[in-house]
Amino acid sequence: MPKTEVILTHNIVGLGGESDQVKVAAGYARNYLFPQGLAIPLSMGNKRRLEVLRQRRAEREAHEYNTMSELAKGITKLTCIVKVKTGDDGKMFGSVTNGTIADELKHQFDISLDKKKIHLDHPIRTLGEFEIELRLHAEVKATLKVKVESTTPLPAPAEAPEAKGPAKAGDKGAPPRTEKRGRRPEGAAEAKAEVKPASSDKAPRPQRPKKVEKSK
């Protein structure tokens, strides 16, 4: 595919900034860049415009730097809340991406930020708080606090059983009843040993006097 060299008149992401001389496909330049006014052919006459383009580029980059520096100061004080659906076990349905965070920044704080400036190593798949790195500019970085919360209502806590009085002896599950015996007083054993059992011999029964018959 034939190539042609052009001078960019506007900043084009992935290609270059104004005043840059780049080589592109001839068809791309002819059908898109030139009609849109994004580039001009490289020629001796057009090279005279380079100084103007370079000055405009310097002003644009300075403005972007100042804007992103101010944004970085303010955005570090914010907490972006992202609501997600979860199951009863607390697991998320889906994930939170840099596009999700960009949408919430626009919705909550009216901050328009290219999702490519929100750096995530991988999508967020758990609830909690996270610190996300923002690459706002080649020389400006910031940290955004993101809090992922569930929209699923928590299950109602189980009602506590009614308090019952102390279990009585004989109730099912009640502990067996134990009798407490008093402590034997000291000296009881000695006193018991000194008591002699009564004799089993009976005392002799007194004899009744014989009846004397009277003589007639």
Q: Where are the domains of the chain?
A: 3-48, 73-150
Confirm if 21 and 3 have CB atoms less than 8 A apart.
no
> Which residue, among 42, 51, 56, has the nearest Cα to 10 in the 3D structure?
56
Cα(202)–Cα(205) distance, integer angstroms: 9
Q: Which CATH number describes the domain made up of 73-150? A: 3.10.430.100
Rounded to a whole number of angstroms, the distance between the first and last alpha carbons of the chain is 185
Cα(15)–Cα(20) distance, integer angstroms: 9
pLDDT digits (tens, 9 = 90+) for 97-112: 999 999 999 999 999 9
Query: Mean pLDDT for the chain?
Result: 80
What is the pLDDT confidence band of residue 188, given thresholds at 50, 70 and 90?
very low
Query: pTM of the entire structure?
Result: 0.57
Shared fold status for 3-48 and 73-150: no
Cβ neighbors of 129 (< 8 A, separation 6 or more) are 145, 146, 147, 148
Output the pLDDT for position 181. 55
What is the pLDDT confidence band of residue 14, given thresholds at 50, 70 and 90?
confident
Cα(109)–Cα(145) distance, integer angstroms: 13
Cβ neighbors of 132 (< 8 A, separation 6 or more) are 101, 118, 119, 120, 143, 144, 145, 146
Output the pLDDT for position 101. 96
What is the pLDDT confidence band of residue 43, given thresholds at 50, 70 and 90?
confident
Higher pLDDT, 123 or 191: 123
* pLDDT of residue 164 exceeding 80: no
Sign of the torsion angle spanned by Cα atoms 40, 42, 43, 45: positive
Distances (CA, A) of 176 to 165, 167, 188: 17, 11, 31
DSSP 34-75: HHHTSEEE--HHHHTTHHHHHHHHHHHHHHHHHHHHHHHHHH
Within 10 angstroms of residue 140's Cβ, the number of other Cβ atoms is 19
Topology of domain 3-48 in CATH is Ribosomal Protein L9; domain 1 (3.40.5)
Within 10 angstroms of residue 8's Cβ, the number of other Cβ atoms is 21
What is the pLDDT confidence band of residue 191, given thresholds at 50, 70 and 90?
very low
Output the pLDDT for position 205. 59
Output the pLDDT for position 45. 78
Main-chain dihedrals φ then ψ at residue 75, nearest 5 degrees: -75, -25
User: In a 3-state reduction of DSSP, which class is residue 148?
Assistant: strand
